[in-house]
Structure 1
Amino acid sequence: MKIVLPFTGSRGDVQPGLALAVELAGRGHSIEFGAPPNLVPFAAAATASTDGITVVPFGPDTKALLESELVRTRIKARNPRTRLAALAELANFGWDEMTQQLSKMAVGADAVITGTLGQEMAFNTAEAMGVPFIALHYCPIRLNGSMSVIPGRQLPAAVNRATWRLLETTRWRSMKKRENQQRHDLGLRAATAPLPKRISAYGGVEIQAYDGALFPGLEREWANERPFVGFLELVSTATTPGTDIGVGSPLRTWIDDGTAPLYFGFGSMPVRDPQSLVDTIENVCRRNGYRAVVSSGWSALSERIVPGSVLAITGPVDHAAVLPLCRAAVHHGGAGTTAASIRAGLPTMVCWFSADQPFWGAALVRAGAGVSMKFSTLNTGSLTERLATLLADRTASRAQELAASMTPPADAVRASADIVERAFTTSDM
């Protein structure tokens, strides 16, 4: 079977799709994987040892987008109208380019699989071709009564459902014009309902690619409607893209030369003043006797070492290899990074920026395995205070318990591939 996987977003959005692509290719399927131009080298390296996978550019350069004035300023505006307009612009950003690229990718496809972002165009393409549609969700994004749209708040089920319904309607209104233009071009009737209803009516599958244990009640509520499989992760191998962590490497030597360090990394989130951030981390570590590894992510950060205190590194990091060598993790709360720090059994501090990140911070607080705060409030005082809670024995113990309850990555990937293959069978009936 030919399966196309158009993925856009940051590395955390793309990596779960790559994990599934590798498994499906190993089962004999032909895979065409679309990745943002800035992540094509990463995707190609991650799949280099697997036959049957072709990686092609798809959509805009997401690193440039995250560093744009739209994302850095307007989407965070205090004026609600400005923010809503920015969100609508972001939802439509690169739409025409991506729909054209997807049309070429999808020729002869037997299924379409996509991530959380860009589901509308992928679904319309699958519907026009009459092939199975599968989406990977990296956090709860559909109507439910178990979880509030306000992170950390417990609200009545009816209120939760009403607010999720409002979000669905708002999203539909912002996408309706472009969606229906694409549907017209594909020979489809104009859509008259939000995407979740159309996916359900079509028989599409929305895989919850995270552990349901982090959202009590939600797994029971959705049952088989939206199957939970666990976090999808690439298997860490010698070819996995990331800073060298092998015995004798500079990073491994520094880590082994003292007490287990804290890990700091903010992934694809561009930090406005990365040098000031490192100075804050150095100050806190020096005062409290901590050591820290600081990953540059997509921020401009020079590689340097502060003797006995902080090691700042540049380039990609293989979390599966680095995090188990650390004492705790401090990061932006992306789904993939959160999964990696939980998997490593580390108490985790989420310094969130936007999107789903505060939900992951709230989930860790609820589980007793971490703390959470807005990145913009991070300073010497707030970091010192929260690290005291993070490094307490009770938090570390709960983090270990949570890690033991997680679905093994290989099982999660296999379960997802099984769902995809069952979708073929269902569509043939």
Structure 2
Amino acid sequence: MHPKRLLIRDFLYNLPEERIARYPLPERDLSKLLVYKNGSIEQDNYYHLGKFLPTGSLLVFNNTKVVEARLLFQKQTGSTIEIFCLEPADEYADITTAMLQKGNVYWKCLVGGAKKWKEETLTKTIHAGNVQFKLQVKKVEKFSDYFLIAFSWNNSALSFAEVLHLAGAMPLPPYLNRSAEESDKERYQTIYAKHDGSVAAPTAGLHFTERLFEKLATQNIQKDFVTLHVGAGTFKPVKAESMQEHEMHTEFIEVNRSLIENILAHADSTVVAVGTTSLRTIESLYWLGLKAKLDPGIAIEHLQVYQWDAYELDWQNTTTNEALNCLLQWMDKHGVTKLVSKTQVIIAPGYGLKVAHALITNFHQPQSTLLLLVAAIIGEDWKKVYDYALQHDFRFLSYGDGCLLFPPAY
């Protein structure tokens, strides 16, 4: 069945409020781990992850860094305007370019209290250590689901990423129902976060520590990284009755040539995506490679993955290795060692994994596209896994526990 015909009501389960983890555990790698393989379930914790992975496995992580995307401005009347930075304006080639802008930048934002904000420029003065500057915002244009906002600041030495770090707050998921605290600056960030750009953490990676990485290395379990900047669309509820009417969010991805080569080198072993964003990124590589095979001259700006590509492109005669090698050839032809693209891929029942052999992920909200992704990997047994987790006191959502899922064919 084409995923367009899937009904979101079929992916509902009862998630009691008390099962949502409001705070992380004191030690990251002692979070509980549910392991699903061949229809059976085991339970352990993340520190013992290695005993469930074959020697020589490759773990692929998303090294995006969460930015302090929430900004509060006080009007002269005393009312508060909240600005939530979503993604850069279309004029910038990618998020990294936009984050490095100095002095001014244009950004797509949600605005809380927008009706109270007329045409005036809002200003706030930031004091952080020895740094002081004025930050100003002005509405440029209103669109159906966001405002285009002009930011400017009077310290030209600061990039926009630095401005957000000094002036903003961590964008905790709305379902935590609490304000960000000082501890969230560290805990709502993976230990390997590197590239500014996300408004949500790749939460499966929150469980990993240096001591866990050292332990995995003794088993010759390797790690590598992609970058997918997680947008607020990751929390976008599916309001349509069927998936055909739901538009997937588009996200920026960045992948080094060496990662693609590393995946090819592990073709006969186990490639494990750590998190749904890592999975969407490495699976997107297959579809990008297929497009490069079908049209070797495709322009950089057209090489991206759209929502239904995986179900409508003719892929049957293209192996994973062939697609990835075609992508490498395309990169050589265009003289790029880092692929920067966009993906809108939806992984739902009916999708067969092309690159990954397993997934490590947290437990997701009912009726979400992330739950559809889990169901794509383990089928109807997603209900069995989630029932087990609820019955055995697993903690759910961003700060909760997680699972290692192997598809039935593995």
Q: Please confirm whether the aligned pair reaches a TM-score higher than 0.5, indicating the same fold.
A: no
TM norm structure 1: 0.26
